Amino acid sequence: LAGEDGSTRPTIFAEMSALAAATGAANLGQGFPDEDGPEWIREAAVDALRSGENQYPPRRGSAALRAAIAGHQLRNYGISLDPETEVLVTVGATEALTAALLALAGPGDEVVTLEPFYDSHAAAIAMAGATHVTVPLVPADGGFALDRAALDAAVGPATRLILVNTPHNPTGAVLARDELASIAAAAARADAIVVTDEVYEHLTFDGAEHVPFATLPGMRDRTITISSSGKTFSLTGWKIGWASGPAHLIEAITAIKQFLTYSGGAPFQSAIARALTEGDDDIVALKNTLNRRRELLLDSLTRVGFRTVRPQGTYFVCADATPFLTAGVPDGAAFARWLPGEIGVACVPLAAFCREGSESAGRLRNWVRFTFVKDDATLATAIERLAALR
């Protein structure tokens, strides 16, 4: 069975959201906004439904959305793409990731990711039958940092693909240009393809700059960039994502994608085409709101006694729960399962983003992740309840 390593068991997000619902806890576990994205974008989907955009879109995605994605990459990053051959619309970033892994890696290939890693990355590697090799991101005072010696040890002749994620879930790290340059050098040395998950590309703080991997010297021709409208426009249930990169790689991914879903979300594709073209102000507004909520949550966690790492991006804060552990609640996984019933707040353990028994799993054993992408009332409730830990 695929995922005998446990990578395809029910996700921690579903488990923790169910526990939050059962206990009435403020859900700072699963990362989804509880405020829907801009009304004008939702109205654009209604218009598309009413005007008859209800049949299969083309398997590569609607021409309007592919053009909008190419326009977005050019305007924001100077990456020029041919929307006909270098852009693929997918059912969320999740499908793009899985199709990319199935298309580009297989048995005998090694796929390198950072660790901790987003759970679908490990599952997609398992589905492809490839071998998962990891490089730790290590908590430091200034944030989580790439272990470069481990990177050099991990990437070698068997490396088919390096899966990057920046801004990074769960750590909130925005990989610095020099860290990405180390990954680029390793990819070039091993002649590996790079798949980069940039779904949080617009959610950065403290002036941190998101550097798209494809903009690094020499990398465009070996990089598949994946993103999604879910995080950028707070419309995670629409599942409109995309992949872009060199035509021959996009063609290979399209060949798989057509038999996963063929296509999806016709009216939402139209609405996101407009959002990507006309929605820059909404992105800035979201980022400002999130920045304020990040400060509130960080301040509350720190005051209560957690050691936190200040995230430069995403909508997550990681916290070391060691001061609250006891014989009965011995680690972060136990803490995350105990907290909702005890004080009414849900989070997720970082162990869920690590391979069992790995060095990172040991180092982050007592850590948990809280999300701040919640409305002010939910966040205020959570903060009030967290104070009970003091």
Q: Does 236 bind ligand PMP (CB under 6 A)?
A: yes
Q: Does 17 bind ligand PMP (CB under 6 A)?
A: no
- Give the one entry of ligand PMP, ligand GLN, none that residue 165 binds, where binding means its C-beta sits below a cut-off of 5 to 8 angstroms depending on kind: ligand PMP
Q: Of 16, 45, 48, 93, which one interacts with ligand PMP (CB under 6 A)?
A: 93
> Judged by CB, which is closer to ligand PMP: 117, or 306?
117
Q: Of 7, 27, 62, 94, which one interacts with ligand PMP (CB under 6 A)?
A: 94
> Judged by CB, which is closer to ligand PMP: 238, or 324?
238
Q: Does 8 bind ligand GLN (CB under 6 A)?
A: no
Note whether 120 and 113 are within 8 A (CB).
no
Mapping DSSP onto H, E and C, the string for the chain reads CCCCCCCCCCCHHHHHHHHHHHHCCEECCCCCCCCCCCHHHHHHHHHHHHCCCCCCCCCCCCHHHHHHHHHHHHHHHCCCCCCCCCEEEEEHHHHHHHHHHHHHCCCCCEEEEEECCCHHHHHHHHHHCCEEEEEEEEEECCEEEECHHHHHHHCCCCEEEEEEECCCCCCCCCCCHHHHHHHHHHHHHHCCEEEEECCCCCCECCCCCCCCHHHCCCCHHHEEEEEEHHHHCCCHHHCEEEEECCHHHHHHHHHHHHHHCCCCCHHHHHHHHHHHHHCHHHHHHHHHHHHHHHHHHHHHHHHHCCEEECCCECCEEEEECHHHCCCCCCCHHHHHHHHHHHHCEECEEHHHHCCCCCHHHHHCCCEEEEECCCCHHHHHHHHHHHHHHC
- Give the one entry of ligand GLN, ligand PMP, none that residue 60 binds, where binding means its C-beta sits below a cut-off of 5 to 8 angstroms depending on kind: none
Residue, CB closest to ligand GLN: 31
Q: Of 169, 229, 232, 312, which one interacts with ligand GLN (CB under 6 A)?
A: 169
Segment interacting with ligand PMP, rule: CB under 6 A, options 46-54, 233-241, 277-285, 355-363: 233-241
- Give the one entry of ligand GLN, ligand PMP, none that residue 167 binds, where binding means its C-beta sits below a cut-off of 5 to 8 angstroms depending on kind: none
> Judged by CB, which is closer to ligand PMP: 308, or 371?
371
- Give the nearest distance from C-beta 40 to ligand GLN in angstroms: 25
- Give the one entry of ligand GLN, ligand PMP, none that residue 227 binds, where binding means its C-beta sits below a cut-off of 5 to 8 angstroms depending on kind: none
Q: Does 360 bind ligand GLN (CB under 6 A)?
A: no
Q: Does 13 bind ligand GLN (CB under 6 A)?
A: yes
Q: Does 204 bind ligand PMP (CB under 6 A)?
A: no
> Judged by CB, which is closer to ligand GLN: 225, or 270?
225
Q: Does 77 bind ligand GLN (CB under 6 A)?
A: no
Q: Of 7, 27, 30, 229, which one interacts with ligand GLN (CB under 6 A)?
A: 30
Q: Of 92, 143, 245, 344, which one interacts with ligand PMP (CB under 6 A)?
A: 92
| Range 172-209 burial, b when 16+ CB lie within 10 A, else e | bbbbbeebbebbbebbeebebbbbbbbbbbbbbbeebe
Segment interacting with ligand PMP, rule: CB under 6 A, options 60-68, 86-94, 261-269, 323-331: 86-94
Within residues 31-70, the interface with ligand GLN by CB under 6 A covers 31
- # chain residues binding ligand PMP, by CB under 6 A: 14
User: Residue written as tokens 């793409």?
Assistant: 81
**Which residues would be at the binding site for ligand GLN (CB under 6 A)?**
11, 13, 30-31, 169
